[in-house]
Amino acid sequence: HTLNTLNDYKEYFITEMKHPTFAQSVIAEWWATTLFLFFLILSCLPGANDGQEVFRIGIVAGLTIAILVYAFYAVSGGNINPAVSLGLALSGRMTAPRACFYIAAQIVGAITGTAMAKAVSPRAFDLGKGGMNALQTLDVDLESIAITEGQAFFAEVMGSMLLVLAVLFCTDTARSIEHPHMTALIPLEIGFVVLLAHVAMIPIDGCGINPARSIGSAAIYGSLVHLWIFVWGPVVGACFAALIYRLIFAPTEVFNEYFK
């Protein structure tokens, strides 16, 4: 399909949207994000296993994403994260309107899932501040080191960038054909990025790297404190990943073209 004018593009998308798999995909993104937030926020409820939240939340977040990508990859691509949809759209792997529908579905799903997790124990949900992302404090000996807004923003950019970069590599069909691990391990590797980012970043800012997750938690708990960090950090990270992928790491044909 050559899409030269805006009209071509419109027509192309209307056809895409009328296909029954489009509705299926959007519902898939909604339901997958609902499930993700349900289990993630459940693992954030306080009062269980104090002192091991980092591993508990990390394992639940990472493995839930691994399972949901495994299951929904064939339906919608299994994005479950606005940063991922944005990164794919910026890299030309997904149409912009599809990305918009996905992002809306993810945000609604995150709110649904958080509300469902709250239902398991509303009191614990409130005492745990709804699993909201927040700036943390590092306690070293007698000193307390507060993480600043800028520092948390930087960490969010880096974590989201690693995630979106991994997604861009694994969905690059030009590369995955000759490298069998790329397609076989997709869900595991995506889940492992989420796991490691949580283990590394929970002590910094609770680890967002997913605007839908942070919005869902903020909406149900009812607080917008620092939310901008967890929305714009991942957005900047996704843009950065798409940029360096296209300019530097895309397969050689693209690379050659760029240097001509």
Closer to a second copy at the Cβ: 59 or 219? 59
Give the pair of three-digit tokens for residue 184: 């076989």
The nearest distance, CB 2 to a second copy, in angstroms, is: 26
Q: What does the DSSP assignment read for 34-79?
A: HHHHHHHHHHH-SSSSTT-HHHHHHHHHHHHHHHHHHHHTTTT---
* Class of residue 44 by CB neighbours under 10 A (exposed 0-12, middle 13-18, buried 19+): buried
The nearest distance, CB 8 to a second copy, in angstroms, is: 25
Q: Are 234 and 160 in contact (CB under 8 A)?
A: yes
- Select the residue interacting with a second copy from 63, 100, 135, 243 (CB under 8 A): 63
Residues 6+ positions from 87 with CB-CB distance below 8 Å: 164, 167, 168, 238, 239, 241, 242
- Binding residues among 12-41 for a second copy as defined by CB under 8 A: 20-21, 24, 27-28, 31, 35, 38-39
- Select the residue interacting with a second copy from 17, 59, 104, 115 (CB under 8 A): 59
Interhelix angle 149-170/186-205, rounded to 10 degrees, is: 180
- Select the residue interacting with a second copy from 17, 95, 115, 128 (CB under 8 A): 128
The nearest distance, CB 114 to a second copy, in angstroms, is: 13
Closer to a second copy at the Cβ: 9 or 27? 27
Closer to a second copy at the Cβ: 13 or 22? 22
Q: Is 235 in the site for a second copy (CB under 8 A)?
A: no
Closer to a second copy at the Cβ: 10 or 181? 181
Give phi and psi for 143, each to the nearest 5.
-100, 140
- Select the residue interacting with a second copy from 100, 135, 200, 236 (CB under 8 A): 200
Interface with a second copy: number of residues (CB under 8 A): 92
Q: Are 54 and 196 in contact (CB under 8 A)?
A: no
- Binding residues among 135-174 for a second copy as defined by CB under 8 A: 136-141, 143, 145, 147, 151, 154-155, 158, 162, 165-166, 169-170
Measure the CA–CA gap between 169 and 244, rounded to whole angstroms. Answer: 12
The nearest distance, CB 24 to a second copy, in angstroms, is: 6
- Binding residues among 76-115 for a second copy as defined by CB under 8 A: none
The nearest distance, CB 257 to a second copy, in angstroms, is: 10
The nearest distance, CB 212 to a second copy, in angstroms, is: 18
Q: Is 66 in the site for a second copy (CB under 8 A)?
A: yes
Q: Is 10 in the site for a second copy (CB under 8 A)?
A: no
Closer to a second copy at the Cβ: 76 or 224? 76
Give phi and psi for 95, each to the nearest 5.
-70, 150
- CA distance to 53, 161, 187, per residue, from 229 (Å): 22, 15, 27
Instruction: Give the helix ranges, DSSP H, for the chain.
Output: 6-18, 20-44, 53-72, 82-90, 96-120, 122-127, 149-170, 173-176, 180-184, 186-205, 211-221, 227-244, 252-259
